[in-house]
Amino acid sequence: MTDRRKPVEQRLNTEALAAYLLKALPGTAGPLRLDQVGGGQSNPTFYVQLGADEFVLRKQPPGP
């Protein structure tokens, strides 16, 4: 599988995301790393690392 991660292009409140994940997932700890996944998806997709844990996050595209 090809690694399609790239720097984040979409605006995202990383402090709020880290706070939410730390509260919602007890036992999760560590610094937050966020990369955007490319490939032409309609919804922006992100690869999230929080300490040793890894997640995929999809969000609505920006718009009105």
- What does the pLDDT read at residue 43? 82
Q: What pLDDT shows up at residue 36?
A: 86
Integer Cα distance of 38 and 35 in angstroms: 9
Fold of 5-58: Phosphorylase Kinase; domain 1 (3.30.200)
- Of the CA atoms within 13 Å of residue 2, those in its CB half-sphere come to 5
Q: pTM for this structure? A: 0.69
Query: For the chain, what is the radius of gyration of the CA atoms?
Result: 12
If pLDDT is split at 50, 70 and 90, which confidence band does 19 have?
Answer: very high
Model confidence pLDDT, tens digit, residues 22-61: 899 888 888 999 888 876 567 888 889 998 999 998 888 7
